[in-house]
Amino acid sequence: MADNKKPDVTIWHNARCGKSREALALLQGRGVAVTVREYLKEPPSRAEVEGLLDALGGAPADLVRTNEAEFAKAGKKAAALSKKDVAALIAAHPILLQRPVVVCGKKAAIGRPPEKVLKILPGA
């Protein structure tokens, strides 16, 4: 018998962010059961951030909100950020996490624009 279990979908969410709210509404509007991770209330560990980076692929700096004051205080250049740098920065300052991030299975997407998250859903 085939396993018809739907994959787990998690959104790393900031309710104050319009793009994050849009992505959540988009997923819910399509009937996707979503686990909401409010990362500012439940900050990620370094290992969790590294897992997000693996699922996203691409440049580690893509996951960092470089326009935040905490990033300027860190004195880093975005282009020079390694996976470990990003994990340490976001674990210490969760506000630096680019949002929203949607994870489905072993894939992830940053929802900027929100429709980008649809590409990682099954059947997309």
Could you tell me if 111 and 82 lie in one domain?
A: no
Residue 113 lies in a domain: yes
In a domain, 31, yes or no: yes
pLDDT > 70: percent of the chain: 94
- Please identify every residue annotated as catalytic: 17
Question: What single-letter DSSP state applies at residue 54?
Answer: H
Q: How many whole angstroms from its chain centre is CA 98? A: 6
Q: Which amino acid is at 107?
A: K
Give the mean model confidence (pLDDT) for residues 24-53: 97
1 within a domain of the structure (yes/no): no
The count of domains in the chain is 2
pTM: 0.91
SS3 for 88?
A: helix
| Within a domain: 3 | no
Strand segments, DSSP code E, in 1-49 are 9-13, 34-38
Least-confidence region, from 6-15, 31-40, 81-90? 6-15
Tokens of 82: 């390694």
Domain range holding 59?
44-96
Pair 109, 77 in one domain: no
Identify which of 16, 50, 10 has the alpha carbon closest to the alpha carbon of residue 33.
10
Same domain, 122 and 85: no
Furthest-apart CA pair in the chain: how many Å?
A: 55
Same-domain pairing of 90 and 48: yes
pLDDT category of residue 123 using cuts at 50, 70 and 90: confident
Residue 108 domain flag: yes
Domain-embedded: residue 92: yes
Residues 81 and 69 in one domain: yes
- CB 68, CB 86: distance < 8 Å: no
| 81 found inside a domain | yes
